[in-house]
């Protein structure tokens, strides 16, 4: 794990968000973040095993902005380089808030090169709290598996046992 990275945050939506939280939980890294009031995601109420705090509003945009605001940098991962919906909003808000962010699309390069880019991004920006965002599962089936593979390649994986 890159020295300095202490926590992963996300908004708890299906797809990229949950994959990031699941990866952190499985690998002994602290996790959390903001989720919409009511803990709602496309598949219903977000499970309590994810240590998320609810925003005052049910708007997913508020949780997106607060996760960017409260982290040291944001990783946006997608399968397609064309960002849409909430993933595009994340990119726009990170720019507006002048927060470091890195966009990695599966179609833009091989996994080892993207893993290196992520490690360099974390080191160059002294990121202790990394916000991870990307498409929901219904928008990009396969995003969770891709994000998990990227995190394993970039940050390592806890030894089984």
Neighbours of 150 (CB within 10 A): 24
pLDDT of residue 144: 98
pLDDT of residue 160: 43
User: How would you classify residue 126: left for phi > 0, otherwise alpha for psi between -120 and 50, otherwise beta?
Assistant: left
Q: What is the pLDDT along the chain (161 residues), one digit of tens a residue?
A: 556 799 999 999 999 999 999 999 999 999 999 999 999 999 999 999 999 999 999 999 999 999 999 999 999 999 998 999 999 999 999 999 999 999 999 998 899 999 999 999 999 999 999 999 999 999 999 999 999 999 999 998 654 43
Domain 7-155 fold is Rossmann fold (3.40.50)
Supply φ then ψ for residue 149, to 5 degrees.
-65, -40
Angle between helices 60-69 and 85-96 (to 10 degrees): 40
Q: Which of helix, strand or coil describes residue 62?
A: helix
Q: CA angle, corner 70, sides to 67 and 2, nearest 5? A: 95
pLDDT of residue 158: 56
Question: Is the CB of residue 134 less than 8 Å from the CB of residue 140?
Answer: yes
pLDDT of residue 1: 53
């Amino acid at each position: 794990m890159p020295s300095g990275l202490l926590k992963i945050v996300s908004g708890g939506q299906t797809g990229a968000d949950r994959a990031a939280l699941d990866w952190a939980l499985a690998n002994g890294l602290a996790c959390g973040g903001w989720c919409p009031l009511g803990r709602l995601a496309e598949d219903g109420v977000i499970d309590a095993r994810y240590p998320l705090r609810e925003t005052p509003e049910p708007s997913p945009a508020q949780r997106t902005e607060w996760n960017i605001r409260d982290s040291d940098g944001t990783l946006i991962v997608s399968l397609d380089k064309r960002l849409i919906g909430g993933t595009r909003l994340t990119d726009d808000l990170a720019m507006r808030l002048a927060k470091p962010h890195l966009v990695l699309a599966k179609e833009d390069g091989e996994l080892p090169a993207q893993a290196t880019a992520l490690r360099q991004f974390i080191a160059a920006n002294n990121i202790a709290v990394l916000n991870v965002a990307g498409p929901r599962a219904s928008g990009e089936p396969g995003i969770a598996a891709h994000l998990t593979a990227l995190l394993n390649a970039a940050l390592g994986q806890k030894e089984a046992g």
